A and B are shown apart, each in its own frame.
Chain A
Amino acid sequence: MATDWTVRAITRAMLPVLLVLTVIEIGSGLVLGSFEGDLLMYPSLLILVPVTIGTAGNLGSVLAARLSTAFHLGTLSFAPDDETFAGNALATIALALTVFPVVGGGAWLLAVATGGAALAPGTVVLVSSLSGAVLSLLAIVVTALATYVAYQRGLDPDDVVIPVVTNVCDVLGVVVLFGVVKMVV
């Protein structure tokens, strides 16, 4: 194992990355703050925020973990028609198209249950599904880029790619949600 289990060694390994990621996440918070008015007006959208951020990050991290493993096993090449990459990219899109409509429906139902939804259920499902579709494509691009950069620099994708991809997808989750809300609502 790379790091000793002392507070100092763990902090030295973790804190610098953690602080950089925190700055990135504040960027996503600033985007969120810029449409706070919409979010406060429509409770279903506010309920959508954590689950959209989380699901976007998870889509990226699941893909990143699978690509990292394939990379370690030597079954991943970086040709654009690589089977492992294309298959996993396809699965990422399919997962997003399965999960995000459920997320939208769930958010609307919970808004109704906790004090009333101001938006029609179709609108919330549309916002969520559209965000999910765009996010899955972005997650694929970000993950492929991060895995490739890690590979070129000789870094272990497990250490670098998963936290970077998860947090970048968190931010993109908010940005895409913002764009879709401004477009649809």
Chain B
Amino acid sequence: MMADAVFCPLRYLALTMARWSVAVKAYREGLPALSASLVGGLIAGVVLGGMRSDLQAVEGLLVLVPALLATRGNVYGSLGARIATALHQGLLEPRVSEADGRLLRAVAAAIANGLLASVFAAVVATFALVVLGRPGAGLATFAAIAVVAGLLSGIALATTVVLVVFAGYRRGYNPDTLVGPIVTTAGDVFGMAALLFAVRTVAVLGGS
């Protein structure tokens, strides 16, 4: 079978009925999630586009952007998946008023890990810029921006994930399919807005 595929690429590319139906189903199911994150990504882009003067003022800030945005997706995606699984297993009631210490601890863990990863990103970015001999604003500035941005976006994202997944579940949606689009959309928007706020706050406090 392997040999056939290697020696006869035409056969590998042949569009069988089975392949076509798999592809059509995957396309239909994938499009809504991608479209939702597209809107969030473009809004985040507008915020980034509006930060041109900040990017010039805080040298090397752009190096931090992908890490900070990805951390939001990784941490709060994981929180969402955890909550979704617990709802499926009946371990969690989909109401904030009935939330116990476990939900609070999961949220606290997400925010703490998000902050740790953000500060770590600031350290690695500073180090990499020094090693490469590129200009950078320095560890104190990067770390302060990472902490403020991580805390603000963390509070906003944890609240959004919990509320939307609970509300969706109560209305009969599968929380597993809600988490991905919510986290990527809200993660981009809140992540970038928090970064903008953090950069300007740190600039004012730092007197730079």
Contact = CB atoms under 8 A, between A and B. Distances in A.
B196 to A, nearest CB: 12
B85 A1 contact: yes
Per DSSP, chain A at the interface is helix
Interface in A140-185: 163, 166-167, 170-171, 174
A22 to B, nearest CB: 5
Contact of B45 (A14, A26, A99, A107): A107
A11 B52 contact: no
A106 B46 CA distance: 10
Nearest to B100: A5
A127 interface: no
B171 interface: no
Given A22-B124, A58-B184, A81-B12, A28 B66 contact: yes
Interface residues of B, number: 80
B180 A1 contact: no
A62 B37 CA distance: 12
Interface in B146-172: none
Contacts of A138: none
B86 to A, nearest CB: 7
B197 interface: no
A29 B66 contact: yes
B126 to A, nearest CB: 10
B62 A32 contact: yes
Nearest to B40: A54
Given A22-B71, A47-B49, A170 B66 contact: yes
A37 to B, nearest CB: 11
A95 B31 contact: yes
B40 to A, nearest CB: 7
The 3 tightest CB contacts between A and B, nearest first, are A87-B22, A51-B41, A47-B45
16 contacts: A22-B67, A26-B63, A32-B62, A33-B60, A52-B41, A53-B41, A54-B69, A54-B184, A79-B2, A81-B4, A83-B16, A83-B22, A84-B22, A87-B20, A115-B49, A163-B74
